[in-house]
Amino acid sequence: MTSPGLQLIDQDLFDAVALRARASERLRMNFNLHQESDLVQRFLNVMQPGTYIRPHRHCRPGTGEGFECFVVLQGSIGVLLFDANGTCLRQERLDAAGPVRGLQLDEGLFHSLVALAPDSVIFELKQGPYQPLADKDFLAGFPQEGELESREQELEWRRSFDV
């Protein structure tokens, strides 16, 4: 049981958020550990295969404030890095069982994530406070979330991680 001022990050929490992610149209669900006005955003992002995250980057007014850090706590996530023309430059597989479990992206790097296993849980850390209208700079040339082409794009990316 969680007490005031204490939030356990345990399997029960993973399972509860994963259940909500499976029921979500987006096939993912955040569990915020921060308040919207906090200077540091800390949250769990639970993702299911099939969720589409349009390539984007984070740019904030202060130098270095657009970083983003991911650590996989359960399952497996693929990270794709793109240049400004939309060419995939690098892929990294993050897996709770290792050998690579997390990474930090510098400000301004276009990226996307793809869930490679059901109920994948990542801990994300980035600069706050959350600014919904300015949080992401989307990369042109990729479908928007919810479009038929976005499902095809996600499947192509997920297949690119198959060994």
What mean pLDDT, rounded, does the chain reach?
93
**Alpha-carbon separation of residue 130 from 35, 98, 100, 159 (angstroms):** 9, 30, 28, 32
Whether pTM exceeds 0.85: yes
Report pLDDT for 133.
66
Report pLDDT for 27.
98
Interacting residues of 87 by C-beta distance below 8 A, sequence separation 6+: none
Domain that holds residue 101: 12-160
Calculate what percentage of the chain has a pLDDT beyond 90.
Answer: 80
Q: How confident is the model at residue 8 (pLDDT cuts 50, 70, 90)?
A: very high
Interacting residues of 16 by C-beta distance below 8 A, sequence separation 6+: none
Q: Is residue 5 part of a domain?
A: no
43-80 pLDDT per residue, tens: 999 999 999 999 999 887 766 677 999 999 999 999 99
Amino acid at 43: F
Interacting residues of 2 by C-beta distance below 8 A, sequence separation 6+: 8
Distance CA 37, CA 40 (A): 9
Closest CA to 122 of 65, 79, 59: 79
pLDDT (mean) for 24-36: 96
**Residue 30 confidence (pLDDT) above 70:** yes
Structure letter (DSSP) for residue 17? H
Number of structural domains the chain divides into: 1
Q: Is residue 148 part of a domain?
A: yes
Report pLDDT for 2.
56
CATH of the domain at 120: 2.60.120.10
Q: Is residue 3 part of a domain?
A: no
Cα dihedral across residues 23, 29, 31, 34: positive or negative: negative
Distance CA 163, CA 123 (A): 25
Q: Is residue 137 part of a domain?
A: yes
Residues 76/95, Cβ–Cβ less than 8 Å? yes
Bridge partner residues of 138 (DSSP): 56
Q: Is residue 21 part of a domain?
A: yes
Distance CA 33, CA 156 (A): 32
Q: Is residue 2 part of a domain?
A: no
Q: How confident is the model at residue 3 (pLDDT cuts 50, 70, 90)?
A: low
Report pLDDT for 60.
75
Q: Is residue 7 part of a domain?
A: no
Report pLDDT for 128.
86
Calculate what percentage of the chain has a pLDDT beyond 70.
Answer: 94
Q: Is residue 1 part of a domain?
A: no
**Residue 141 confidence (pLDDT) above 90:** yes
